[in-house]
Amino acid sequence: MPETELSFPSPQRRRRPLPRLLLPLLPWLVSGCSLLMPPEIVDMESRTSAEALKLQRDDPAAFVSYKVGTRQMRYVDVGRGPDKPLVVFIHGSPGDWRGWADYLIDPDLTQRAELIAVDRPGFGGSGAGVVERSLVQQARDISPLLEKMTSGRRVVLVGHSFGGPLAARLAMDNGSKVTDLVILAGSVDPAMEHTAWYQYPADWPVISWMLPDVLVVTNREIRALKDELVAMLPLWPRVTQRVTVMQGGKDDLVPPENADFAQKMLTHAASVNIVRIPEMNHFLPWTRYAQVKAVILQHLQ
């Protein structure tokens, strides 16, 4: 059984401040799912950060760590119960478990299911700053969370943005342990992945050493994503679970065509529900909280 970890990892290594000349270019140096956030998301992030701190204070036993090889992994586990179904939340790039704080404290969800929010490899308490480009390995790093589940329990994977294809990969590689899949604005179509010119210099040592670790990790894993998605193309028939895909029509970070791709590829899923929200941007886990929560509750039935 994983050992409970009550302390957070040591701070990331210090970097020199970014030269003022490059500050205006920072939003374009790395293309990540949480950059260029609209004001309402900035406000939401501030509130969820406060909720996350309260959760850490009130339930320190919820913060658990385990090791896969040399990497320390961290997750937050609430609503614990041996007979409850399980929901695993997987964040985008950049991000960590705190993005799911609203869901982790929701009484309707915590009474109905055990809820786990994991820090993906390279973020938060899972080796912050040490990138893992391979979706296969990221799935292996997270899959021990599924080992604790007893047979017959529903296991729902919920992945946002970069977490969408990772959730799909987990479903492909752990078919007998996963019953349901919810993809929120997921980057699943390799044809939609394009490396912009500014992502290359962001990885040059002369630039990357000046950037925060979280942006370096984000840039490197996103640059590798296209090849990872291409490798997944023949594996989509392995997705036999019940699936919901939610996608905003005004998503500037993950094109809406990703939902079309998912619908085309999910030929063996037990059921497929494509939810298109024409006026929605990329941040639907927070701006469409009630709708996402309702989808999760449906998958728990």
**Least confident among 36-40, 44-48, 156-160:** 36-40
The strand order across the sheet containing 71-78 reads: 3-4, 63-68, 71-78, 114-118, 86-90, 155-160, 180-184, 242-248, 271-277
Say what the pLDDT of residue 119 is.
98
Share of the chain above pLDDT 70, in %: 82
Peptide bond into 256 cis (omega under 30): no
pLDDT in tens, 218-269: 989 999 999 999 999 999 999 999 999 999 999 999 999 999 999 999 999 9
Q: What is the mean pLDDT of residues 51-76?
A: 94
User: What is the DSSP-derived secondary structure letter of residue 268?
Assistant: S
Q: What percent of the chain has pLDDT over 90?
A: 69
* Encoded tokens for 104: 């982790």
For residue 36, pLDDT beyond 70 = no
Cα–Cα distance list, 188 to 48, 61, 78 (Å): 27, 34, 29
Q: What is the pLDDT of residues 133-170, one digit of tens each?
A: 999 999 999 999 998 766 678 999 999 999 999 999 99
pLDDT at 7: 32
Q: Which amino acid is at 252?
A: D
Report phi then psi at 48, rounded to 5. -70, -30
Which of 198, 205, 165 is CA-nearest to residue 184? 165
- CA proximity to 92, closest of 40, 165, 156, 27: 165
Helix (H) or strand (E) holding 75: strand 71-78
Of 26-30, 46-50, 275-279, highest mean pLDDT: 275-279
The CATH code that applies to domain 38-299 is: 3.40.50.1820
pLDDT tens digits, 80-114 = 987 899 999 999 999 999 999 999 999 999 999 99
Cβ proximity of 247 and 256 under 8 Å: yes
Mean residue pLDDT of the chain comes to 86
CA distance 88 to 234: 25
* pLDDT-derived band at 79, boundaries 50, 70, 90: very high
- Residue of higher predicted confidence among 99 and 198: 99
pLDDT exceeds 90 at position 30: no
Instruction: Characterize the bridge pairing of strands 114-118 and 155-160.
Output: unpaired
Report whether 156 contacts 299 (CB < 8 A): yes
Domains in the chain: boundaries: 38-299
pLDDT at 9 over 70: no
What is the pTM assigned to this prediction? 0.86
Average confidence (pLDDT) over 279-286: 94
